[in-house]
Structure 1
Amino acid sequence: SLILLPSQPTTLIVTTMHRMSSLVVLVVAAVASGLPQYGPPPPAYGPPVHKEEPGMPYNYAYAVRDDYHGVDFGANEDSDGALVQGSYNVVLPDGRKQTVTYTADHYKGFEANVAYEGEAQYPAYAPPAPYAPPYGPPPPYGPEGREEAPETTAEE
């Protein structure tokens, strides 16, 4: 009969195999880390260039007035390239005229003054009309609209 006993050479072979496989894994990892890495190319553009440019002088104005429809509004604005000044106006639904006058520059920012002309006028209160259902013929269904069917017998 054959009896297998643990021996020193078998343990040595297993230990050597573990060391060799660990060494192979480390060598493969070292070679792989040395290979060139592929990824997206660097961007072909640089950061944006911010350039301070002087403002352009301009001015504009418009006005609309239509008494038939009750429309009245307008605006005007002037700029010398650094300071903007202007105003706009509109007739509000309550009858007042709102005028906004403003200035704006790079130092103080936007400053507006709002003024109102006239007195607010609201329509007089009237209670709502009482509900009245719409008139129409009665619906064609229901017990009051049915006629009784004549009784028939099987003998007939």
Structure 2
Amino acid sequence: MVTKVALVVLVVSGAALAVPADPYRPVHPPAYHQDLMPYQFEYGVKDEYSGNDYSQNEVSDGKAVTGSYTVQLPDGRKQTVNYVADHYNGYQAEVSYYGEAQYPHEYGPPVTFKPQHGSYQPKPSYQPRPSYQPRPSYQPKPSYQPRPSYH
């Protein structure tokens, strides 16, 4: 009896080890290879009215990315970051600054900008009314006519 039980346990455990854990998952997943996708882009903003001044350019040959960006800092300096990034060395950046940082000793009222083109005229806040008076076109009529009851 003990040998029969041991034999059954051996057969069941062997069958359990032979079946893959996930029968729907392929044994060797397909390899995904994508062709190199080189690209290049560039943009820039210089708005005298608001003081925004920034730009970026970037070039990639599909293996490595090279680029730079500049930002006008609030203290008056311009920050430039030149960078190179690839899968072997990671992201490497070199940061440089142009100009002197300026910190005023006296603070005055905040700088505000006046509108350039005329003044803003909000529309009046009222609800427009239709030029006609809508009336319901459907007049319901009772479908049940009570009959007189005789006692």
State the 1:67 CA deviation.
2.5
State the 1:73 CA deviation.
0.8
Q: In the alignment, which residue of structure 2 is the partner of 1:37?
A: 16
Kept in 2, the 8 Å contact 1:96–1:118? The answer is yes
Report the RMSD for the aligned CA atoms in angstroms: 3.1
In 1: Cα distance, 2:88 partner to 2:16 partner = 51
In 2: Cα distance, 1:81 partner to 1:37 partner = 46
The TM-score with structure 1 as length reference comes to 0.50
- Are positions 1:49 and 2:31 aligned together? yes
> Which protein has the bigger helix share?
1
In 2: Cα distance, 1:56 partner to 1:32 partner = 56
The one of 89, 93, 97 equivalent to 2:74 is 93
- Unaligned 5+ segments in structure 2 are 108-151
In 2: Cα distance, 1:107 partner to 1:29 partner = 55
In 1: Cα distance, 2:94 partner to 2:9 partner = 70
- Are positions 1:122 and 2:106 aligned together? no
Gap change, CA 1:41 and 1:122, over 3 Å in 2:
same
State the 1:80 CA deviation.
3.6
State the structure with more CA Rg.
1
In 1: Cα distance, 2:3 partner to 2:106 partner = 91
Task: Name the % identity.
Answer: 49
